[in-house]
Structure 1
Amino acid sequence: MITSFQIVDRGDKESQEMAEKFRATLTDHGFSLSNNPDLVISIGGDGTMLRCFRDYYSPSTAFVGLHTGTLGFYADWSKEEAGLLLHEIQYGKPHFEKCPLIQGTFELLTGEKKTFLSLNEIIIKSNSISTLVLDVKINGEKFESFRGDGILVSTPSGSTAYNHSLMGSIMHPTLDAMQVTEMASINNSVYRTLNRSFILPKEQHLILEFPTIDERAIVGIDGEEYHLKQIKSIHVCVADNKINFARYKPFPFWERVKGKFLKEM
């Protein structure tokens, strides 16, 4: 049962005004504003939903999105449907859909470990014109030696984002899997990489190891950049926890894919 809520907006005037209307209406109807909410309402675009995830994720919190710009994959509702969404939150009973997250653990040469959860993707890339060199292991066994700009590991939900721009495959967001996509990999008579994205199930994990110390590598987690010095290895797997999306109406994922990528302007 949803009794508490939080709202995150994109920051533009229209989104802020809409957020204030939601806030006033829901509190007037007995819902409490909380920093540990049952429901987080994202008003903006996909970037706003990623901020909701970073700030308020817990396994018991549900998320719903209303987009105030172009069509977003994380937003079920358009701004013209704001009144309908408000009504559904007050009186409706949502279906909760669980979607996988990925977990990345970064081990530094000092022995320190940093762990991140991601809703969209984890990226490791070079911040210079030099190529990045990584040993790619699946379940501890070496798969390939990678040379190129970087490697992206996406969730099924994130497969329609940067992964799609890199010619990765689109995955249904409820699949328990992750996708590994290479960025400008080098393939010639000396260096060989798969040069295709590949998909790993939850039961398998990925390890990216630096054969030498590389101070130029940077890490991206859902659009946020982290400069981690002297990374030794990165362990990525499908997380045990998932994110809950509150569906107050059907979630037409493939229709959404069609609308974003296939319909003529």
Structure 2
Amino acid sequence: MKIGIVHNNSEKTLPVVKKLQALLSHHQLTIDTKNPEIVVTIGGDGTLLSAFHRYAHMLDKVRFVGVHTGHLGFYTDWRDYEIEALVESLVKDEGESVSYPLLDVIARYQGKKEAAHFLALNESTIKRVNGTMVCDVYVKEELFERFRGDGMCVSTPTGSTGYNKSVGGAVIHPRLDAIQLAEIASINNRVFRTLSSPMIIPTDEWIVLKPLTTEGFILTIDHLTSSEKNVTELKYRVANERIHFAKYRHTHFWNRVEAGFIGAQQKYEV
């Protein structure tokens, strides 16, 4: 068994990393960051996102395990004080996993034949830096609407609890192979109209955004941000690739949602 370790450098995390390394060595499990079979992330959801993009080229070979050393995360099933139990699970590993859908993003640029390709675990957003973003929204090859507003957010089911939720999107269970398009501060009046509601897109359909102006956009892929010029088209669909998590312990999705947004104390208050 080859184990990769990805971690942040917080004071709470570093002692956990040392303890994990010692236990892996004791059980004769190899630490291999280049070609791991399992990647253990220690930190939070941001650390797991970094690990996902680091190993995005080998998702068919890698399973992930998340350990959180701070606040409760949506991708981290283990706590920092459970490292011994985690290593015992690694020793007894039988290859079981649970997988989640990903977002496939294709960006096309003016004057370039080749498109840029990205994968997102949570979401991708497109925003105009200066002024209102105006773009035509296509579902498959059919024009659906002309959007005016701050931008658009396209999320995966697991990413639906993040930025998507903050802009009014729905929370979607990750067993559904779908993506979600949510408007960011759309302009709606008697002249300009949009759906003003999230759209759930299945695996056999896709979303295409075609900005009327090609300059001055901010494109995000999860936590990665870039300033884009000459963007002519963004195509979003459910990716063929999936992310796989080692199934030693897997918290039910709605328990994660309840713990993250409601909590027992608030839930039972009158």
For the aligned pair, the TM-score class normalised by the smaller chain equals over 0.9
Instruction: Give deviations 1:63-105, integer Å, cap 9, x for gaps.
Output: 0101100100000111222221121112243630111111101
Name the counterpart of 1:49.
48
Larger deviation, residues 118-127 vs 26-35: 26-35
**What is the identity percentage for the equivalent residue pairs of Structure 1 and Structure 2?**
39
Distance apart, 1:13 and its partner CA = 2.0
Measured in 2, the distance between the counterparts of 1:152 and 1:144 equals: 15
Larger deviation, residues 246-255 vs 49-58: 246-255
Name the counterpart of 1:257.
257
Distance apart, 1:11 and its partner CA = 1.1
Q: State the 4+ residue runs in structure 1 displaced beyond 4 angstroms.
A: none
Normalised TM-score (structure 1): 0.95
Report 1:134-173 matches (<5 A): 134-173=135-174
Q: Secondary structure at the match of 1:184?
A: strand
Name the counterpart of 1:239.
239
Name the counterpart of 1:186.
187
Normalised TM-score (structure 2): 0.93
Name the counterpart of 1:17.
15
Q: Secondary structure at the match of 2:61?
A: coil
Name the counterpart of 1:70.
71
Residue 122 in structure 1 maps to residue 121 in structure 2 = no
Distance apart, 1:258 and its partner CA = 0.7
Q: Secondary structure at the match of 1:83?
A: helix
Partners of 2:216 and 2:228 within 8 A in 1:
no
Partners of 1:93 and 1:248 within 8 A in 2:
no
Name the counterpart of 1:7.
5
Measured in 1, the distance between the counterparts of 2:129 and 2:96 equals: 42
Q: Secondary structure at the match of 1:164?
A: helix
Instruction: Give deviations 1:231-264, integer Å, cap 9, x for gaps.
Output: 0000111111101011212321111111111113
Partners of 1:101 and 1:117 within 8 A in 2:
yes
Measured in 2, the distance between the counterparts of 1:251 and 1:95 equals: 15
Measured in 2, the distance between the counterparts of 1:169 and 1:95 equals: 30
Distance apart, 1:127 and its partner CA = 1.8
Distance apart, 1:15 and its partner CA = 0.8
Measured in 2, the distance between the counterparts of 1:124 and 1:227 equals: 10
Partners of 1:7 and 1:42 within 8 A in 2:
yes
Measured in 1, the distance between the counterparts of 2:118 and 2:22 equals: 34
Q: Secondary structure at the match of 1:227?
A: strand
Measured in 2, the distance between the counterparts of 1:16 and 1:167 equals: 37
- Unpaired stretches in structure 1, ≥5 consecutive residues: none
Instruction: Give deviations 1:97-155, integer Å, cap 9, x for gaps.
Output: 11111110100002241110000001101123x11011000011000100001000001
Q: Secondary structure at the match of 2:228?
A: coil
Partners of 2:101 and 2:156 within 8 A in 1:
yes
Number of residue pairs matched by the alignment? 261
- Unpaired stretches in structure 2, ≥5 consecutive residues: none
Report 1:222-237 matches (<5 A): 222-237=222-237
Letter in 2 for 1:234: L
Distance apart, 1:24 and its partner CA = 2.4
Instruction: Give deviations 1:154-179, integer Å, cap 9, x for gaps.
Output: 01110111111112111112221000
Name the counterpart of 2:211.
210
